[in-house]
Amino acid sequence: MPRPVAFVRGLRRPEAFHGVGADRGFFEGWYIKLVSADRSQRWAVIPGIFRGLAESGQPTRDEAFVQVLNGTTGESWYHPYPVEEFVASSASFDVTVGGSRFSPSGVTLDLPQLSGRIAFTSPMDPWPVTWRSPGIMGWYGLVPFMECYHGVVSFGHGLAGTIDVLGEPTSFDDGRGYLEKDWGQAFPAGYVWMHSNHIDADPTASLVASVAIIPWLRSSFRGFIVGLKHHDRLYRWATYNRSRETELVIDDSHVRWTLTGPDGVLRLSAERVRGGLLHAPLRTSMHQRVEETMDGLITVSHEDGNGRILLAGAATCAGMEVFGDIDRLLATGSR
């Protein structure tokens, strides 16, 4: 785990590196989504680092990495690097892995699938951070023994630049980006995650939603965090702000989820689409097990407490993961 001083410093900087002093049982990764203006090119690039726990008689697994997901075809690639080729700032978003660099000004990619420079043409738009509520996790972000922490670095920003995509020059001018991250000991044993910032009812809107099994002392609970930003306002549904789930149905074809809270009623219906396999952090190794799509469709409806529709539309180019022990997730009670 990170040193206490690194944990406290990181409360104000979800976007920065939190792993100073963590040499065992720690991972950190940044999910960088790149979508071209015509939406024909949809890519996720995930730089990060993993430091495993020791297994009996086995050497520890430590590696830096850059994962790549082609959201159009579902193909995915995992590029490991020595940990010495990972450099990241604990004060800001500035990450280098091998020959690729990621910062608020954009990304420089030196990968077999993607090479060149994509600039971010507008400032990143993070989830607000305060001392009482350091980002998307609310006061849970202050708890030092959480299994996994989460941050939204940018709900959306503009893109520009032409890069080589699988050997072909490809323009991302007037495209749209998104950026979030995770860090901690391991991913939850069961969770659902979805995101889109291509919502037809408001071209600036952005949705991020997740529900997961959260270990808590000697038990666990089902925790959820949802942010829907539209018409220049962030609306929130979360375990920590007295919101509640009135429906959560997960079957082979859809996730249907209804939440109520101080910001009204949110109804989500997401189609489950097959995607590419990504590596996820277990406590001892990076394991190829998480199927993620970037071709999902989410129907979104947001209404206020009086039943007035504030936003209703289709969210496309949606990222989505449904992973792990979903039966246990559904059976686990909320706090």
The CATH code of the domain that includes 4 is 2.40.370
Q: Are both 177 and 36 inside the same structural domain?
A: yes
Residue 326: CB partners within 8 Å, gap ≥ 6?
A: 190, 192, 250
Task: Tell whether 226 and 171 lie within a shared domain.
Answer: no
192 within a domain of the structure (yes/no) = yes
Tokens describing residue 83? 């940990």
If asked whether residues 160 and 197 sit together in one domain, one would say: no
Residue 84 clears pLDDT 80, i.e. is over it: yes
What are the pLDDT digits (tens) for 186-197? 999 999 999 999
Asked if residue 162 and residue 57 are part of one domain, the reply reads: yes
To the nearest whole percent, how much of the chain has pLDDT over 90? 81
The confidence score (pLDDT) of residue 252 equals 87
If one counts the domains in the chain, the total is 2
Tell me, yes or no, whether 199 and 332 share the same domain.
Answer: yes
pLDDT at 4: 73
Q: Are 29 and 102 found together in one domain?
A: yes
The pairing of beta strand 190-196 with beta strand 254-261: unpaired
Provide the 8-state DSSP code for 58: B
Residue 100 counted as domain residue? yes
Instruction: Round to whole Å and give the CA distance between 328 and 312.
Output: 31
Pick the last residue of a domain from 143, 166, 185.
185
Distance CA 16, CA 7 (A): 11
Tell me what the mean pLDDT of segment 279-307 comes to.
Answer: 82
- Containing domain of residue 161, as a range? 1-131+152-185
Residue finishing a domain among 164, 185, 206? 185
Q: Bigger pLDDT: 35 or 280?
A: 35
Residue the block writes with tokens 């489950």: 272
Side-chain-facing half-sphere of 286: CA atoms under 13 Å: 22
Looking at the structure, tell me whether residues 219 and 163 fall in a common domain.
no
Give, for 234, the enclosing helix (H) or strand (E): strand 233-238
Task: Find the mean pLDDT for residues 63-75.
Answer: 94
Average model confidence (pLDDT) across the chain: 93
Q: pLDDT value at position 24?
A: 87
Rounded-to-10 torsion of CA 196, 87, 109, 156: 20
Task: Supply the pLDDT for residue 283.
Answer: 61
Give pLDDT tens digits for 239-252: 999 999 999 999 98
Tell me if 237 is assigned to some domain: yes
Instruction: Determine the Cα–Cα distance for residues 50 and 62; give it in Å rounded to an integer.
Output: 6
pLDDT at residue 288 is higher than 70: no
Q: Is residue 223 domain-shared with residue 162, that is, in the same domain?
A: no
Do 212 and 94 share a domain, yes or no?
no
The structure's pTM equals 0.94
Provide the pLDDT confidence category of residue 53 given band limits of 50, 70 and 90: confident
